[in-house]
Structure 1
Amino acid sequence: MHEALIQYINTHTSTPLTDSDIDIIKNIFTPRRIRKRQYFLQEGDVSKYMGFIVKGAMRQYSVDDKGNEHIVRLYIENWWAGDRESFAMLTPSKYNIDAWEDTDILTITKASVVEFNTIPALNELARNLDEMHSIAFQKRINAAISMSVEQRYAELANAYPEFIQRFPQHIIASYLGVTKETLSRVRTKR
């Protein structure tokens, strides 16, 4: 499983990994299998891990007082999963993260981040990921406050067609902040 992460790092950084770096990566990232519907993180728990998805799909969501799920993030292969706020601040999470498909993931603990930071390529990767995360977050907020449902769905379908293929309509609807009936009408028009 580590080969997928090493390839990802080499693709997303200009700093080459040394053999020593690869040994450290193999020591600090622990392979884990999460079965479909199994939790990676539950609301109220402190996030002890961040994870790199090698195979599978996950979702991050909150549940309101009426029991409705509100999807905030979807994850697939080569994506990083976790509650950044809870992991960084060691505070209870407001979210659940579970596997939508059987998922193979490489996890890293907060304590291992110290070793992570000793590798120049991983420092570069962290900066690049923070930048990409910030841009994606900005786009998502803008879409939520200024785009129609049709526009949000079209943008999602163009940017992440694999989400449309791998997650059911009710998950996509929740991610877009609409009912599944509204999403069904939008999809029918397309």
Structure 2
Amino acid sequence: MDKATHQIKTFAACLSKLTDISVPWRHAANSAMTVHMPESHFDLVRVGLLTYGIPPTQGAGALSLSPALSIKARIVQVRNFSTGQTLSYGGTYTLTRPSRIALVSLGYADGYNRRMSNKSHVLICGKPCPVVGAICMDVIMIDVTDIPPVSTGEEVVLLGQQGDYKITVPDIAQWANCISHEVVSLLGARLPRHYVS
């Protein structure tokens, strides 16, 4: 018997002993349990990741989920840099060619994890573009050398789809070496929320 099955059986056994206590709502299922263990449902389930259309486990990929969360920002500046110049705090990225770098007004204070420095990419003009340099509190730097010229105000997709490419919460979790729950839980309060139907 696996651990989850054992826990559900133990929970059910405890509930059966509560004969003199009224328990109006019995629940033990998060998103993963909702998908994989119907016996864990009891009176209700608590779907967190599923609410956003995020698969809670690798085995949940067969579900027909539609992403319900995206993160977008805008380019605030584009600058040209020379070969050999370093970017960001600590000079964590050295340019190996003349490059165009776009600054985007979003950083780790908004929940864009600093552990993704020099590992992640964003979508601009429907193309993936690498995040370069250390992710700062309020800004990230994007190498836009390989796409057509962009300007201030251009949309940047950090999570979601643009053109034929998409970035998912599991992608971000992999880049940040964390779990999907951490990605959505750390989204900062200063990120504006727009609800669409």
TM-score under structure 2 normalisation?
A: 0.24
TM-score under structure 1 normalisation?
A: 0.24
Instruction: Say which one has the larger Rg.
Output: 2
